[in-house]
Amino acid sequence: MLSRTLLSAIALLPALVVAQLSGTVGPSTSAAKKAATKTCDVTKYGAVADKSTDIGPPLVSAWADCKSGGVVVVPKGDYAIATWATLTGGSKVAIQLDGVIYRTGTAGGNMIFIENTDDFELFSSKGGGAIQGNGYQIHAKGSSSGARILRLYKVTNFSVHDLVLVDAPAFHFSMDTCKNGEVYNMAIRGGNMGGLDGIDVWSTNIWIHDVMVTNKDECVTVKSPATNILVENIYCNWSGGCALGSLGANTAISKVTYKNVYTWSSNQMLMIKSNGGSGYVEDVVFENFIGHGNAYSLDIDQYWSSMSTVAGDGVQLSNVTFKNWKGTEANGAQRGPVKILCADKAPCTGISVTDFAMWTESGSKQWYACQSAYGSGFCLKAGSAKSYGVTTSTQTAAPTGYSAAKMAGDLATAFGTTQSIPIPTIPTSYYPGATPYSAIAGR
């Protein structure tokens, strides 16, 4: 079985990409069927669209009445959330968020936390639902502590779509130990500082597609443990960029595909990051990447200095494919477009870099660097097993075919950390020439 949404578009996907999903994703019961069973309007439980009355308790009460089958409805309007909503034990339940929820509380944790729930959907019926975290109120004081906007834990057969998450105090959206999920048609917009991750996922059989992230940390990142993850049509619009990691002890990541990723003015296009540790990353593909104005491009760093060293010989990377990368990096002499630095005690094997053409926006040269990395392409060595020191090569002529399209929505500047960040509309395009799989709700 494949994704319910994917079934209608199966002919458009190559077999390799389809294979990354291990089965059906998304809710088993439609929102319409759930609504026919029961509807719990939060305004009947004390919620008021006055941007000051706490929606937290009404949301919890409405969930309690509808969690065994039904739809919790947050009607159009502006609401405040001062106490966080932990929603647990649901089955055949949905949340229809058509209004905008503004954070007024100051606690850490998770503003909205869904756990131990099956057959679940969180969506906006018209694409106008949003959660405004007002993180600038905390960030202006120099702090990145505070609450996540949305966290899912042990949620199965679910979807989250047609929503906007803005200015989280800390992370925006995380999926922890979930299974069979689909995330799509979303805009995530955060401040220009670390610790404000867009989407983090460590789960099984998850399809994330047609999402735009603006922040200065993780765009869409897979963490351990994770398997059968498909990430495509992603727009990292002035972000930290996509990644695997940070990887530590007992890493277990396999069967991951990133496809159609456009990265603009970000820290990197894709990074696999670790420092010591153990375990494995295997059978992963990064295909159809376009980048412009980014610091790093293809960046594997198993001596990443921004994390403390973890005990172990290193995470074993094998069967990692990079294919069809185009565009430009900010300064190729300072940060070359290919950096593959693998652990000396756990050399990378089966690394493949093909159809890769990138060039510098500043100056007239760029470099490639490899360490203890085996495979094909650029500075990678044939064979396997033995460690070797960093080898570099310099290119002084632009490669053929590096020119690549840009997106009309590319931001001219990042959003700061001292003023409110505006709530955007959900984009209609996430990668040059790629059509989103599902129409935006209400359009």
Q: Is the peptide bond before 347 cis (omega within 30 degrees of 0)?
A: no
The band of 14, judged by pLDDT with boundaries at 50, 70 and 90, is very low
Using the structure block, give the residue that is written with the tokens 């999402």. Answer: 211
Strands 373-376 and 348-360: parallel
Please determine, for residue 3, whether its predicted confidence score (pLDDT) is greater than 80: no
Annotated catalytic residue, options 119, 292, 299, 301:
292
Annotated catalytic residue, options 217, 283, 299, 301:
217
pLDDT at 17: 40
Q: What is the pTM of this model?
A: 0.95
Task: Compute the distance between CA of residue 235 and CA of residue 211 in angstroms, rounded to an integer.
Answer: 6
Q: Do domains 1-192+200-207 and 217-407+423-433 have the same CATH topology?
A: yes
Q: Which amino acid is at 219?
A: C
Q: Which amino acid is at 118?
A: D
Please determine, for residue 258, whether its predicted confidence score (pLDDT) is greater than 90: yes
Average predicted confidence (pLDDT) for the chain: 95
User: Average pLDDT of 404-416?
Assistant: 96
Please determine, for residue 337, whether its predicted confidence score (pLDDT) is greater than 90: yes
* Domain spans in the chain, listed from the N-terminal domain onward: 1-192+200-207, 217-407+423-433
pLDDT at 385: 78
Active site residue 209: no
User: Average pLDDT of 211-218?
Assistant: 96
Task: Compute the distance between CA of residue 413 and CA of residue 424 in angstroms, rounded to an integer.
Answer: 15
pLDDT at 20: 84
Please determine, for residue 7, whether its predicted confidence score (pLDDT) is greater than 90: no
Output the CA torsion sign for 355, 326, 416, 171: negative
Q: Do residues 337 and 377 touch, judged by C-beta distance below 8 A?
A: no
Supply 195's token pair: 């610790």
Supply 367's token pair: 């470099």
pLDDT at 19: 53
Please determine, for residue 4, whether its predicted confidence score (pLDDT) is greater than 50: no
pLDDT at 2: 46
Active site residue 292: yes
Q: What one-character-per-residue DSSP string does 52-70 give?
A: SSB-HHHHHHHHHHHTTSE
Three-state DSSP at 113 gives strand
Q: Which CATH number fits domain 217-407+423-433: 3.30.590.10, 1.20.1260.10, 3.40.50.300, 2.160.20.10?
A: 2.160.20.10
Query: How confident is the model over 69-126, as pLDDT tens digits?
Result: 999 999 999 999 999 999 999 999 999 999 999 999 999 999 999 999 999 999 999 9
- Express the helix, strand and coil content of the chain in percent, nearest 5 each: 10, 50, 45
Strands 218-222 and 366-371: unpaired
- Picking from 199, 228, 261, 184, the residue whose alpha carbon sits closest to that of residue 5 is 184
Q: Which CATH number fits domain 1-192+200-207: 2.160.20.10, 2.40.50.100, 3.30.450.40, 3.20.20.190?
A: 2.160.20.10
pLDDT at 143: 84
